[in-house]
Amino acid sequence: MENFAVVDVIRAKRDGGELSDEQIGWVVDAYTRGVVAEEQMAALAMAIFLRGMTAREIATWTGAMIDSGSRLSLAVDRPTVDKHSTGGVGDKITLPLAPLVATCGAAVPQLSGRGLGHTGGTLDKLESVPGWRAALSTEEITRQLGEVGAVVCAATEGLAPADRKLYALRDVTGTVESIPLIASSIMSKKIAEGAAGLVLDVKCGSGAFMKTPEQARELARTLVEIGSAHGVATTALLTDMSVPLGRAVGNAVEVAESVEVLKGGGPSDVVELTVALAREMLALAGIDADPAAVLASGEAYETWCRMITAQGGDPEAALPKPKHVHVVPAERTGVLARLDAYAVGVAAWRLGAGRARREDPVQHAAGVLLHAKPGEQVTAGEPLLELHTDAPEVVTSALQALEGAVEVADGPVETRPLVLETVRGA
C-alpha cells in the first residue's frame, strides 16, 4: 500500500478537498496499526466533521474500516437479514423482532451493543435474563443461526477494529455528530456481519440522536447509499422518538414487555414497529409471510425461548425486581399531551438502567414504567410513572430529569405517526 504524509491528508480535508481512495485506505489502515497518532486522527475527524464527505468518500471509508478486520461468513440454509436502530428510549424492538423474523424463515444475525447515556443497550437488557451470555464465538453464532434462526450477541473482536478505535476517539473529541462518521461506523460493523439484507430504524425526535426529520432523512439516505455501494440490499425507516417506545424503559422491564409482545400482546406501538420492520426484512429476504399474524399467534415466543436457551439463559426464570419503587402521580386530570422521550431516558439512566462510561455497571431492575402515553386520559393523583431502582437515593435526581417532561391537556391531542418515511435503495 502506498504511503502518504498524514499531515497532507489532514490539510486536504481541512481545505475542503476530496480524499482519494488510496489516501482513505492508507490512513484508516495506518491509524488501526498505530502509525497515525491519536491527535492526528482527531484532527482529521474534525476536518471531516466540518467539511463533510462525498458519497464515494463515505463508501470508501466504510470499506477501509471493514477491511481493518475480518468478516463473518454465515454458511446457513436461510436467507440472512439484519436490523439496526440508531438508538432511542424504550427501544426494545430487537428482542421481539429477531425471533419473529426467524420464525418466518429468515436467519437474523443481530450483533448488538451496550447502552451509553440515555439510550439503552440490547445486551444490557438481555443480561437481565439469568444465565444469558452475550459473548459467542463465530462457530457458536453460525450454529445457532442454523438451529434457531436468530442470534443476538456481542460483536466478535475481529469485526471492524478501526471503528472501535475511532468511535472511542470521536467520543472525546467532539466529532460524534458527523453523518459521514456515524454512517460509516454503523455500516462497517453491519456489512462485516455478512448478512445479505439490512433494515435500518433511523430515529428522530427528542430521545434520538437525530433531532429533526431532515437530519434523520440525510442519515438514512447516506446509510442506504453505503449499503448499495457494498452490495447489501438496504432499506431505512424513519421513526418517531419524541415519545418512549412502549410502556417500559430500562432493562428487565423491557425484557418483560418484549415477552408480552412475543406472546401476542403488549403495547400497540411496539407491535406496530416490530411488524413494520419485520415486513421490510422479509421483503429483502424474499420471504412471503405475514409477520403480524405470526406475532399475534404467539409462535415467535417459542423461537425466543430457544434463542435464550441456546445462549445459556432460562426464559422461564424470574426477572430481577427493584428494591425501591417510587410512584409519580398525575398532577391534574385530562389527556396526556406530551411525555418527553429524552427526559424519561435520562431518568432511567439516573435510576441505574444506563451508564455514563462504557465500563460502568448497570442495574438490571432499574427503569421507568409508563402508566399512560400521549393521547390517553389521566386522573389527578393516579399513577403516571413508576421509578424503579435498587438505590433510593438517586430518585431525587431522576425526578429532576423529569421536570417539564409532562404536559396534560383538557381535550383531545394530536399524536405523531410512528413510522414517518421509508428510504429504499436504488
Query: CB under 8 Å to 123, separation ≥6 — which residues?
Result: 112, 113, 114, 134, 152, 153, 154
Span 6-52 CATH architecture: Up-down Bundle (1.20)
Domain span(s) for CATH 1.20.970.10 in the chain: 6-52
User: Which residue spans of the chain are classified as CATH 3.40.1030.10?
Assistant: 81-316
Q: Which of 148, 154, 144, 143 is nearest to 102 (CA)?
A: 148
**How many C-beta atoms lie closer than 10 Å to residue 175's C-beta?**
21
Tell me if residue 364 is catalytic: no
Of these residues, 82, 91, 124, 163, which one is catalytic? 163
Catalytic residue among 13, 83, 84, 164: 84
| Integer Cα distance of 141 and 110 in angstroms | 10
Quick check: is 137 catalytic?
no
Q: Which CATH number, 2.40.50.140, 3.90.1170.30, 3.30.920.30, 3.40.50.300, labels domain 324-409?
A: 3.90.1170.30
CA of 35: how far to CAs of 40, 86, 332, in Å? Answer: 10, 31, 62
Active site residue 388: no
Residues facing residue 378 across a β-bridge:
334
* Amino acid occupying residue 72: L
Domain limits, CATH 3.90.1170.30, in the chain: 324-409
4 C-beta neighbours (distance < 10 Å), count? 18
How many Cβ atoms are within 10 Å of 8's Cβ, its own excluded? 9
For residue 148, which of 182, 109, 117 has the smallest C-alpha distance? Answer: 109
pLDDT in tens, the chain (426 residues): 678 899 999 999 999 999 999 999 999 999 999 999 999 999 999 999 999 999 999 999 999 999 999 888 888 899 999 999 998 999 999 999 999 999 999 999 998 887 766 777 899 999 999 999 999 998 999 999 999 999 999 988 788 899 989 988 987 898 988 999 999 999 999 999 889 999 999 999 999 989 999 999 999 999 999 999 999 999 999 999 999 999 999 999 999 999 999 999 999 999 999 999 999 999 999 999 999 999 999 999 999 999 999 999 999 999 999 999 999 999 999 999 999 999 999 999 999 998 777 677 889 999 999 999 999 999 999 999 999 999 999 999 999 999 999 999 998 898 889 999 999 987
**Catalytic-labelled residue, pool 68, 185, 188, 242:** 185
Q: Does domain 81-316 have CATH number 3.40.1030.10?
A: yes
- Backbone φ and ψ for 92, nearest 5 degrees, come out as -100, 15
Catalytic entry in 118, 165, 170, 217: 170
CA 182 to CA 344: how far, in whole Å? 24
Decide: 165 and 332 in contact? Cβ < 8 Å. Answer: no
Q: Give Cα 403 distance to the centre of its chain.
A: 26
Helix spans in 148-251 (H): 161-171, 179-193, 213-229
pTM over 0.75: yes
Of the residues 83, 165, 189, 338, only one is catalytic, namely 189
Reported residue count of the chain is 426
